[in-house]
Amino acid sequence: MSLAVMMPIHKPVMLYEVVKALQVQPGKRYVDCTLGSGGHAEAILHRILPNGRLLGIDTDIEAINIARNRLAEFRDNITLVHSNFANLRSICEENGFLPVHGILLDLGVSSTQLDTAERGFSFRYDAPLDMRFNREETLTAAEIVNTFPEQKLSHLIRNYGEEKHSRLIARQIVRNRPITSTLQLAGIIEQAIGHRHGRIHPATKTFLALRIAVNRELENLIAVLTQALDCLEPQGRLVVISYHSLEDRIVKQFISRESKECICPPGTPVCQCKHTARLRIILRKAITPSIAEVKANPRSRSAKLRIAERV
């Protein structure tokens, strides 16, 4: 049985909106920096035939294998690379893929990763505390939980998870080491701050913080955004889907800064930054999923899509 059959297929979020935002056209070159199981890539490939090219990047080799199977009919139009999108510029250079007409980033964890118990992303299953997108990396959530000093752990949970009870959680974690599984950690967090209030489980923000830290998600996002400017041709589109406020804030601030001719501090009498605008904001307000999409795919509910164009 193929991987594509064995594994649950991730539903691409805001598929129509992504294709429209990228202005996908036949014969042009696009980069999907977060290939996943290939949903967005498949829609792009159908529209760039017969001579267009797509470069698909993912740090998860299992996602690459699923996408390769799913996109087999487009083998002459697609190049798949197992790497982190923080290496975007060098990946494009090595594959003769410069300049490009559109770059897509669909951030965060995929449904396939969440629904694979042994990956340790979810506390819906009892599994090892892993949370690595790329299982060739060495740092796991278990190492953070069991070795970080209490203050460092609290800082991580507060800054990455925006969790106001970070000190209580960190203290309880340290007291209960060693912690080996997702359900054990979720139970410890629940003991620290109480039971669920409303829809969000008390462990949700801590799990998010650990995942971000394990995969260096914010640092990699900053790196890829900067490199995208060097890879896009004039009028090429940058399209980013984010799922939490930290990601969206980075994307929004980056696009805003790179759309300005001057980024000197307010009150500076004469411009000294020598900055020039390299992006044009297409829409000031982020696009969000329709009510129908959220109903069909609840995991899309927090998604925000932002678009900018190279000038």
pLDDT of 9 reads 56
Torsion 265-272-262-252 (CA) sign: negative
- Burial tier of 163 (Cβ tally within 10 Å: 0-12, 13-18, 19+): buried
pLDDT of 272 reads 86
**Higher pLDDT among residues 112 and 205, named by residue:** 205
pLDDT of 281 reads 98
Mean pLDDT of 156-167: 97
Tens-digit pLDDT profile for residues 267-299: 888 888 889 999 999 999 999 999 999 999 999
pLDDT of 197 reads 62
pLDDT of 277 reads 96
pLDDT of 267 reads 82
Residue 15, pLDDT > 50, answer yes
Residue 4, pLDDT > 70, answer no
pLDDT of 10 reads 63
Tens-digit pLDDT profile for residues 180-226: 999 999 999 999 998 766 678 999 999 999 999 999 999 999 999 99
* SS3 track for the chain: CCHHHHCCCCCCCCHHHHHHHHCCCCCCEEEECCCCCCHHHHHHHHHHCCCCEEEEEECCHHHHHHHHHHCHHHCCCEEEEECCHHHHHHHHHHCCCCCEEEEEEECCCCHHHHCCHHHCCCCCCCCECCCCCCCCCCCCHHHHHHHCCHHHHHHHHHHHHCCCCHHHHHHHHHHCCCCCEHHHHHHHHHHHHCCCECCECCCHHHHHHHHHHHHCHHHHHHHHHHHHHHHEEEEEEEEEEECCHHHHHHHHHHHHHHCCCCCCCCCCCCCCCCCCCCEEECCCCCECCCHHHHHHCHHHCCCEEEEEEEC
pLDDT of 7 reads 44
φ, ψ for residue 103, nearest 5 deg? -130, 130
Mean pLDDT of 2-16: 65
What letter represents residue 22's amino acid?
Answer: L
Which of these ranges, 98-107, 264-273, 302-311, has the smallest mean pLDDT? 264-273
Beta strand 304-310 pairing with 232-242: antiparallel
pLDDT of 269 reads 86
Tens-digit pLDDT profile for residues 113-138: 988 989 999 999 999 999 999 999 99
What letter represents residue 196's amino acid?
Answer: R
Note the pTM of the prediction, 2 decimals. Answer: 0.93
Residue 30, pLDDT > 60, answer yes
- Burial tier of 294 (Cβ tally within 10 Å: 0-12, 13-18, 19+): middle
What letter represents residue 304's amino acid?
Answer: K
Do 79 and 95 form a contact (C-beta atoms < 8 A)?
Answer: yes
Percent of the chain with pLDDT over 70: 96
Mean pLDDT over each residue of the chain, to the nearest integer: 94
Neighbours of 178 (CB within 10 A): 9
Q: Which domains does the chain have, with CATH numbers?
A: 3-106+217-310 (3.40.50.150), 122-215 (1.10.150.170)
For residue 48, give every residue at least 6 positions away whose Cβ sits within 8 Å of its Cβ, in sequence order, or none.
24, 25, 26, 27, 28, 30, 54, 77
